[in-house]
Every structure is written in C-alpha cells, then in structure tokens.
Amino acid sequence: MTKTQTLFQSYDLQDTLKLKNRIVMAPLTRCMATDELVPTQAMADYYARRADAGLIISEATLVSQDGQGYPNAPGLYTEAQVAGWKKVTQAIHQNKGKIFAQIWHTGRVSHSIYHQGQVPMAPSAIRLEGRVPRTDDLEYETPRAMNLEDIERIKSNFVTAAKNAQRAGFDGIEIHGANGYLIDQFLHRDSNHRTDSYGGSIENMMRFLLEILTQVKAATPDLAIGLRLSPQAYANMKHDDRDKELYDVLLSRLNQYNLAYIHTGMFNDSHNEFLGGTVTQYIRKNYLGTVIASGGYSADDAVHAIENKYADLVAIGRPFIANHDYVTKIQEQKKLVEYDPEMLTSLY
C-alpha cells in the first residue's frame, strides 16, 4: 500500500453521490469567462482535464450582476450562462467526474466600476481597506448598507442560481459563505453593524445565511448543497474575538440542515490559537457531517487529516492550477510542478 492510498478510497457524499476518491479540486477564480460572464469551451476543457478529482468545485460564480467584483468571473443568472455551464458539466460527466457550482455574491469586495458608477452593497456601510484586484490600483469604496428589499432580492437570486445550477447539470452547489464575501460579511462583527433583524445578536447575524439555506433547500430539494465557511477571518475581513461565539452556535445549528458538507475557507489551515486547532479541526469538533479541509495541504497532509479523522475529503487549490494531472501524479508518486501566479494568465 502506498502512502497516499487513503486518498483513493471512494466516498459516499450522499446516497446517490459517490466520489471516486477523496481529492477535491478547490474553487479557483480564473476570470476567463466572456464579457457577458458566460463560461467558454476553453473553461470546459480546463475543467474536463481535471475530472479525475473525486469532486470539482467550480470557480466562484455570481448569483447576480450586482454581486460582481472581478472581471470575467462567470455567472449563473442568464440563459447564456446556463448554456455555457452545460458544456462544462457535460465535459466533466463524459470524463466520469463530478462538479458542484460555487455560488457567490462579493458584497463590499467590489467597486463601482462593476455597477455603472453605483457603489457596491454590503450588510453595513463599512469600507474594506485595500486595493481592488485586477484594476488599476483602485481602492475599495464605502459600500451602501443593504435594505430589506435588497436582502430579499439577493436571497431569491441565490435560489434562482441553485435552480439554474441544477438545469445546467451540476451535481450540487456550494454556497460561498467564506473569504469575506457577502454571506461572510453578515457573519463577522467587522462588517456587520446592523441593528435590525440581520445584525446585533448571533441569531440575527446568522439569519441571512440560514434563510438562504432554507429557501434553496425548499426550491431544489434533490440538489446536494455544500457550504464554505471561514470561521477565522483571514481574507477581506478583520478579526474580532467575538466571532468565535457565532461560529460555535452556527456550526452546531448547521447539523439540522442536511448539508452535503462544510468546507474550510482558509489559505493556510495551520494551527490557530483563536480556534484551538486548525480551522478544519474546529469545524470537525462542532459539526457532525462531512468536512472538506483546505488551505495549503500537500498530499501527505491530506492523508494525515483523513487518517486522523479531521476531515473526510481534502480540497487542493493552487497545485491543481499547476498540475491538471494532479490526481495521476499523486497516485503514481510523480513530482508536481510548483504553482506560480504567472500561471493564472492562461487556462491549461
């Protein structure tokens, strides 16, 4: 038995969803869709080359145009986008792979250049410090606080995107509740200063996410729903000690939602004083269902996490950009090409 054999055990994600191995391709924004945010044939080919992963999670995909914060990131709210994604899911299925759509709204991690001069919206009018990626060094702006109509509309956009994902042939969806984007902005003290029923108490701060889950579940009862979370603020968000209380409650509450999995949103999932372990270990401690680890995992780290039962599956990001044949290389113990950000300029 080779060292990495553990990664090649199959896994029943849900009754009808069997993964052929424990390796997940992490969601990776590539900004290669058309100007109408439609996935292309080149994207279908790129994903199809990686179909030997147990599960692919698509790059973050917009539920509505007002969620855009990057150029040429794909959407899932027009018929042309659904048709584009169909090509991707068919290519994956032809190669015997499985793919979930990660559905997304950036909230304040955006800029008025994407919204005809209007500032983006967020739970509260609190500016993110820093520069907007892939622009000419523009700074983030103070967003406008969402009103209750905005909240209702965005929730229904998540529902429509889930239905569209099902029509496009995805095997499931992952709701992007991580990395400082809109849902995460409701879950952290740094970005949620609301005083209405969507802020203040833990119950109120969780409401937006939990309502999305309930509504998506009701609209697509047969669709597998995963969720990515960042209990430790690390991207597009400032840390606040009070955040842990919320995640303690949220993770145990999520046990009632029959999710396909919870997925760690973290760049480097190392030991973390705040949570008393890695973020994945913390999720595992509080949540009873399937856990996907992510954040700087080598194949050996992945074996360690699975054998020690910290995680059931491990998502691999940057090495999958650098190695379309990541799974074969791990299986055959071949040397991996090292990731270089320069690789983001092409879609091999």
Residues noted as catalytic: 181
Span near ligand FNR by CB under 6 A; candidates 89-97, 124-132, 242-250, 315-323? 315-323
Q: Return the beta strands (E) in 144-290 as ranges.
A: 144-145, 172-177, 224-229, 261-264
Report residue 218 CA to chain centroid gap: 21
Nearer CB in complex with ligand FNR: 157/179: 179
Give the count of beta carbons closer than 10 Å to the beta carbon of residue 300.
12
Residues 267-306 that bind ligand FNR (CB under 6 A): 267, 294-297
Give the separation between CA 26 and CA 10, rounded to whole angstroms: 18
Q: What are the E-state strand segments in the chain? A: 11-14, 17-19, 23-25, 55-62, 99-104, 121-122, 144-145, 172-177, 224-229, 261-264, 291-294, 313-316
For residues 194 and 323, which CB has a smaller minimum distance to ligand FNR in the complex?
323
What residues from 251 to 270 belong to the interface with ligand FNR (CB under 6 A)? 265, 267
CB of 60 to ligand FNR, least distance (A): 3
* 316 lies in the binding site for ligand FNR (CB under 6 A): yes
> Least distance to ligand FNR from the beta carbon of 67, Å?
12
- Least Å from the CB of residue 68 to ligand FNR: 13
Q: Using alpha carbons, list the distances in angstroms from residue 99 to 34, 53, 177, 329, 335.
A: 21, 9, 18, 21, 26
Burial readout 253-278 (b: 16 or more C-beta within 10 A, e: otherwise):
bbeeeebbbbbbbbeebeebeebebb
Among 102, 157, 278, 286, binds ligand FNR (CB under 6 A): 102
Which one of residues 21, 68, 124, 179 is an interface residue with ligand FNR (CB under 6 A)? 179
Structure tokens belonging to residue 296: 């700087």
The answer to the question of residue 107 lying near ligand FNR (CB under 6 A) is no
Minimum distance from residue 81 beta carbon to ligand FNR (Å): 16
Least distance in Å: CB of 48 to ligand FNR? 19
- Closer Cβ to ligand FNR, 81 or 199, answer by number: 81
Among 13, 19, 24, 26, binds ligand FNR (CB under 6 A): 26
Instruction: For residues 43 and 78, give the distance between their C-alpha atoms in angstroms, rounded to a whole number.
Output: 17
- We find the least distance from the C-beta atom of residue 159 to ligand FNR, in angstroms, to be 20
Integer distance in angstroms from the first to the last C-alpha of the chain?
Answer: 32
Does 178 bind ligand FNR (CB under 6 A)? Our answer is yes
Tell me the residue number closest to ligand FNR, measured at CB: 317
Site string for ligand FNR, 38-77 (x = CB under 6 A): ---------------------xx-----------------
Q: Provide the CB-side half-sphere exposure for 213 (13 A, CA).
A: 26
Task: List interacting residues with ligand FNR (CB under 6 A).
Answer: 26-29, 59-60, 102, 176, 178-179, 228, 265, 267, 294-297, 316-318, 344
